[in-house]
Amino acid sequence: MGNAHVVRDYYGILGVDSDAGPDEIKRAYRRLARELHPDVNPDAAAQERFREVSAAYEVLTDPEKRRIVDLGGDPLGNGGGGGGGAGGADPFSAFGFGDIMDAFFGGQGGGRGRGPRSRIQPGADALIRMQLTLEECATGVTRDLTVDTAALCSECTGSGCAPGSTPTMCDICNGRGEVQSVQRSFLGQVVTSRPCPNCRGFGEVIPEPCRQCGGDGRVRSRRTVSVRIPAGVADGMRVRLAGQGEVGPGGGPAGDLYVEVEEEPHELFTRDGADLHCTVQLPMTAAALGTTLPLPTLDGTEELHLDAGTQAGTVRTLRGKGMPRLRSTGRVDGHGDLMVHVDVAVPTKLDAKQTELLRQLAELRGEEQPDLAGGNRNGHGIFSRLRDSFGR
Binding-site size, Zn ion (CB under 5 A): 12
Q: Output 203 or 324, the one with its CB closest to Zn ion.
A: 203
Which of the residues 98 through 157 are near Zn ion (CB under 5 A)? 153, 155-156
- Any contact of residue 247 with Zn ion (CB under 5 A)? no
Residues 6+ apart with CB under 8 A from 240: 256, 257, 258
Name which of 60 and 210 has its Cβ closer to Zn ion.
Answer: 210
For the CB of residue 113, give the shortest distance to Zn ion in the complex, in Å.
Answer: 15
In the complex with Zn ion, which residue's Cβ is closer, 245 or 251?
Answer: 251
CA dist 219 and 223 (Å) reads 12
Q: CB-wise, 208 or 256, nearer to Zn ion? A: 208
Smaller CB distance to Zn ion: residue 156 or 206?
A: 156
What is the torsional sign of CA 101, 103, 107, 111? positive
Closest CA to 104 of 180, 27, 46: 27
Smallest distance, Zn ion to C-beta of residue 214, A:
8
CB of 216 vs Zn ion, minimal distance in Å? 7
Residues 6+ apart with CB under 8 A from 392: none
Map residues 174-213 to x or -, x wherever contact with Zn ion holds by CB under 5 A. ----------------------x-xx----------x-xx
- Report, in Å, the least distance between residue 108 CB and Zn ion: 16
Asked whether position 161 contacts Zn ion by CB under 5 A, the answer is: no
**Cβ 154 to Zn ion shortest distance, Å:** 8
User: One symbol per residue from 250 to 289: x for binding Zn ion (CB under 5 A), - otherwise; what is it?
Assistant: ----------------------------------------
CA neighbor of 183 nearest in space, from 171, 193, 175, 196: 193
Residue closer to Zn ion (CB basis): 217 or 324: 217
* Whole-number Å distance between alpha carbons of 112 and 350: 84
Q: Which residues are bridge partners to 300 per DSSP?
A: 297
Burial class (CB in 10 A: 0-12, 13-18, 19+), 30: middle
Q: Which part of the chain contacts Zn ion (CB under 5 A), choosing from 95-103, 163-171, 184-192, 282-290?
A: 163-171
Which of 173, 227, 259, 280 binds Zn ion (CB under 5 A)? It is 173
E runs forming strands in the chain = 126-132, 141-152, 168-169, 178-185, 188-195, 204-205, 218-229, 238-241, 257-263, 270-272, 275-283, 291-297, 300-306, 315-318, 324-326, 332-335, 338-345
Interface contacts to Zn ion, rule CB under 5 A? 153, 155-156, 170, 172-173, 196, 198-199, 210, 212-213
